[in-house]
Amino acid sequence: NIYIMGHKYPDLDAMGAAVGIFDICKSCGKSAHIVLDDVNDSIEEFVKRVKKQEYYKGVFVTCEDAIKNCNKDTVVIVVDTHRPSYTECQELLNIAKKVIVIDHHRRGVEFIKDTVLLFHEIYVSSTCEMVTELVQYIEDDVRINKLTAEGLLAGISLDTKNFAFKTGVRTFEAAAVLRKMGADTITVKKMFSSSIDSYKRKTQIVAEAEIYRKCAIAPCDFYADDLRIVAPQAADELLTIKNVDASFVLFKTMSNEISISARSMGNLNVQLIMEALGGGG
């Protein structure tokens, strides 16, 4: 059996890649499941559509169920992260002896070791782009469902900020392939829709930002359930301000810790700053 999982609080790149891997497994006649405990606002619309389709019946399992059924012969495929503590269910990495990692993030200090396959490309826009390439070049005749293609395209759109950042020739080639497979761009755009309240919270964060040494810094002095989604959106928005090279949005979590969402235009490596503060994802 095969278990696929992304990082905690998954986004559309992690979930799109996971569903893409599920389709590859299904095309190869293998049974696969995606490990998912909690659905957040950023993937809610996509997950809702997946659950409605008979094609994906029973695709999602909880961490508890996955741990019960996992053994040393299980294949665990990790997408969009390479840090064990960031995965949706870290216990699976200790049980299974066959672990595959597919990721595009810059390598951190913490890393999943002893993988049977490591597909790690930091110059690629997104994990969804990498999975799309796997679909193209795998020897078996892989068939991708229309909704899977839309999930993969949504993941690429998210991590490239609508094809503006870290976008290479391969990114557009992958997008073209997904379009041929039936991905609808309007449907993809609707996956990023937010409520009016979320939009107001985002603009509130942007309005309270201050510029310091070409960095837009916005401490968020209120709590909301969707801050993990709104904060990165606000950080993206702050990068559109003139003479801003990087943005930092700080907010409190339910456990009373401080989370920081950092974004950069490329001149400043915000991951190094975040790693120095004990984070970096």
Q: What is the 3-state secondary structure (H, E, C) of 61-88?
A: ECHHHHHHHCCCCCEEEEECCCCHHHEC
**pLDDT computed for residue 281 by the predictor:** 62
Compute mean pLDDT per 10 residues along the chain, 281 residues long, and list them. 94 96 94 92 91 94 95 95 94 95 88 94 94 88 91 94 88 95 93 88 94 94 85 92 94 87 89 85 62
**pLDDT computed for residue 138 by the predictor:** 85
Give how far Cα 71 sits from Cα of 74, 95, 116, Å: 5, 6, 16
**pLDDT computed for residue 228 by the predictor:** 84
pTM for the full model? 0.86
